[in-house]
Amino acid sequence: MTIPISYYLILSAIVFFTGVMGVLIRRNIIAILLSVELMLNATNINFVAFSHHLQDLGGQVFVFFALTVAAAEVAVGLAIIIALHRSRSTINVEEFNLLKW
Residues between 66 and 85 with contacts to other proteins, criterion CB under 8 A: 67-76, 78-83, 85
Distance CA 61, CA 21 (A): 28
| Closest distance to other proteins from the beta carbon of 64 (Å) | 7
The answer to whether residue 88 forms part of the interface with other proteins (CB under 8 A) is no
Pattern 11-40, other proteins, x by CB under 8 A: x-xxx-xxxxxx-xxxxx-xx-xxx-xx--
User: By the 8 A CB rule, do 57 and 65 touch?
Assistant: no
| Closest distance to other proteins from the beta carbon of 43 (Å) | 11
For residue 25, what are the CA distances in angstroms to 18, 88, 92?
Answer: 10, 21, 12
